[in-house]
Structure 1
Amino acid sequence: MHTETLALQTVEALQKNRFTAVYFPTATEALEQLLSEIPVEATVGIGGSWTLIQLELVEKLEARGNTVFCHHKPGLTPAEILDIRRKQLTCDVFLTSTNALTKDGWLVNTDATGNRVAAMIFGPKKVIVLTGANKIVDNLEEAQERIRTTAAPANNKRLNRPNPCVKTGYCVDCQGPTRLCNVNTIIHKRPPASNIHVWVVGEELGY
């Protein structure tokens, strides 16, 4: 009950910030709605997201015939990855999650390359941000702390980056060439030329 109350309050704040925001009690319900809303002929960009990997969205979309721009498939060359990232900026639908979501309805993210947050802000015809209620925090300070102690170390571990946070469990502001935390963004309000939908799920998704 507490999770649902918190999620609904956050959805209301997102709506006041001009986002199209909805709440789904379960990931299954959100996934069913997502697949029903995306036309089979649509091109779909995938931002780096453990949430989307958990839901096997790439496989489901490709199986039914969508053209999917996913840059984290194994075996891609650096040139192919760059080309896919550019295509994500002009796709029909861009899917991603967020590192943190404040109760005031702010989307807070840290990126390595910047392609994910760039596509969230401007470019695709429609953006759907799918996030678990576990990413809701009280304020910007807690959002940044969540990224430093949860999202960043987990992403570094998942991507096999030899950065200190993999061992320490928290960000130490490393300076090496493999650093992932290079771009920080806060989307306070929906930009006027962007069609951003935020779907909050009452379950734990991603990290």
Structure 2
Amino acid sequence: MESIIKWQEQTLGEKVVKALQNNEFHAIYVQSKEEAVAFIMYHINKGTVVGIGGSVTIGQLNIERNIIENGGTLLKHTEGSTDKERVEIMRKQLLSDVYLCSSNAVTLDGYLVNIDGAGNRVAAMTFGPKKTIIIVGVNKIVKDEASAFETLKLGACPLNNKRLNLQNPCTVGGICTECNSNRRICRIYSTIKRRPIRSDITVVVVGEHLGF
């Protein structure tokens, strides 16, 4: 049974990569997160400034020590940071040498679909960093743009609210209700249909389940 699931995931992953390439993204398919880490580290040398967007996927790569050992400088908000410090780091990430993040969903026709709170992640994905690397597990593949947003309402949106311990309706009911809470973090809905003109973006589709 596992081999059948792997077959489908790889088939869809490779299909998504071709669609992304048709949309002018640089895109590759790798089997494992270790291969994804190796690809990232190829772009990081001594003095490379690396911005990391808030991402469960990137956290699962356990890549921060590798970056530091390679002489890279990390730009990442930490739990102990003040709001002012977080905003300053977000601004600096827009000018990083390499920006690492994930996408909430990727469609079979090669669109990157995201929902953000502050918008710093989708801003960096579209313009600013010299190089943006987007890591996407095969679990984030969806049919199309409409199904992407529906999937996020059931998955990433309530799960991220719960992860951040936010007292919004979705952390009670387990699904997005399009609430009017002043603590709402689903504020910017973004679809990137083609590679932004002046951005160097690689989408790495990984044959594992990463993030949500």
Among 52, 55, 60, which residue is 1:54 paired with?
Answer: 60
Q: How do 1:82-101 residues align onto structure 2 when only pairs under 5 Å count?
A: 82-101=87-106
CA contact (8 A) 2:48 2:73 kept: yes
Question: What residue ranges of structure 1 are gaps of 5+ in the alignment?
Answer: none
The one-letter code of the counterpart of 2:177 is: V
Within the candidate set 43, 46, 62, 1:40 is matched to: 46
CA distance in 2, matches of 1:184, 1:40: 36
Instruction: Note the aligned Cα RMSD (angstroms).
Output: 1.0
Asked whether the equivalents of residues 133 and 200 of structure 1 are also in contact (C-alpha less than 8 Å), the reply is: yes
Aligned positions of 1:43-122 closer than 5 A: 43-71=49-77, 73-122=78-127
Q: CA deviation at 1:34?
A: 1.4
Write out per-residue CA displacement over residues 120-155 of structure 1, whole angstroms, 9 at most, x where no aligned residue.
000000100001011000011110011111000110
**Distance in 2 (alpha carbons) for counterparts of 1:194 and 1:32:** 22
Contact (CA 8 Å) 1:125, 1:194: kept in 2 or not? Answer: yes
Q: CA deviation at 1:63?
A: 3.9
TM-score under structure 1 normalisation? 0.97
Number of the residue aligned with 1:5: 11
Structure 1 residue 62: deviation in Å?
Answer: 2.6
Matches within 5 A, 1:161-200: 161-200=166-205
* Structure 1 outlier segments of 4+, above 4 Å: none
Gap regions ≥5 residues in structure 2: 1-6
Aligned length: 206
Q: 1:133 aligns with which of 123, 128, 138?
A: 138
Over the matched positions of the two proteins, sequence identity in percent amounts to 46
The Cα shift of 1:166 comes to 1.2
The Cα shift of 1:59 comes to 3.5
Q: Does 1:154 align with 2:163?
A: no
Aligned residue in 2 for 1:143: 148
Contact in 1 for aligned 2:48/2:71 (Cα 8 Å): no
Check whether the contact 1:58–1:70 (CA below 8 A) recurs between aligned residues.
Answer: no
CA distance in 1, matches of 2:179, 2:8: 37
AA partner of residue 150 (structure 2): E
TM-score, normalised via structure 2 length = 0.94
Residues 96 and 128, structure 1, Cα contact 8 Å, conserved in 2: yes
- Cα shift readout 1:157-193 (whole Å, capped 9, x = no counterpart): 1111101111211100111111010001100000110
